[in-house]
Amino acid sequence: MSTNNELLLLHLAQAEQSLERAKNNAYSDARLEDYHHKLVSLFHAVKKDIQQQTKSLSDSEIYDGPKKILDFIFKSLEFLDSSTLNQIPYEIVACLKEAMDKSIEVTDRYIIVTSLINNVLGFSYDSSIAFEHGLYTEIQTKYGIEFMDRLVQINLPRAFSRDYLSAVVLYHELGHFVDYRFSLINSLTKTVLDDLFHRRMKSTDENELVIYFPYLANYIANPTRTLITATTTSWYNVILSHFREYFCDLFAAQYIGEASSHYLKYVSQNSANWIPTHPSCINREKVVGAFLKGTPNVVVTLINQPLLSIKKTTLQKRYSDVAADDFLDLIPTEISSGEQLHGLFDMAWKLWLQQKKKMGDILNTSDTLKIYNVINNLVEKSIGNYITVNKWNQAYKTLHPQKPTPTT
Amino acid sequence: MLHSHSFQDKAFESFASFLRNILSGDDRYKQLVEPILSDAISLSKGEKNYYSVGRDSFDVVVFLAEKDPTFLGSINLVGVSNEQYKKLLELVSGQREEIIA
> Does the ipTM surpass 0.90?
no
Question: Which amino acid belongs to residue A224?
Answer: T
pTM over 0.95: no
pLDDT value of position A90: 82
State residue A85's pLDDT score: 59
Q: What is the pLDDT of residue A107?
A: 64
3-state secondary structure of A87: coil
Examine the pLDDT at B5 and tell me if it is beyond 80.
no
Angle (CA) A294 A297 A299, round 5°: 120
pLDDT, tens digit, for every residue of A314-348? 999 999 999 999 999 999 999 999 999 999 999 99
Average pLDDT, chain B: 86
At A158, which amino acid appears? R
Contact B51 A60 (CB under 8 A): no
Percent of chain B with pLDDT over 70: 86
Please check whether residue B94 touches A, CB under 8 A: no
Burial code (b: 16+ CB inside 10 Å, e: under 16) for A171-183 equals bbbbbbbbbbbbb
To the nearest whole Å, the CA of B56 is away from the closest chain A CA by 6
A320 shares contact with chain B (CB less than 8 Å): no
Q: For A31-44, give one letter per residue: b (16+ CB within 10 A) or e.
A: ebeebbebbeebbe
Predicted pLDDT of residue A106: 61
A138 in B contact zone (CB under 8 Å):
yes
Which stretches of chain A score pLDDT less than 70? Answer: 1, 84-88, 105-107, 406-408
Q: What is the pLDDT of residue B99?
A: 46
B64-86 average pLDDT score: 93
Instruction: Taking residues B18-36, report their average pLDDT.
Output: 92
Q: How far apart are CA B28 and CA A67, in angstroms?
A: 20
Of the candidates A164, A167, A163, A132, the one whose C-alpha atom is nearest the C-alpha of residue A150 is A132
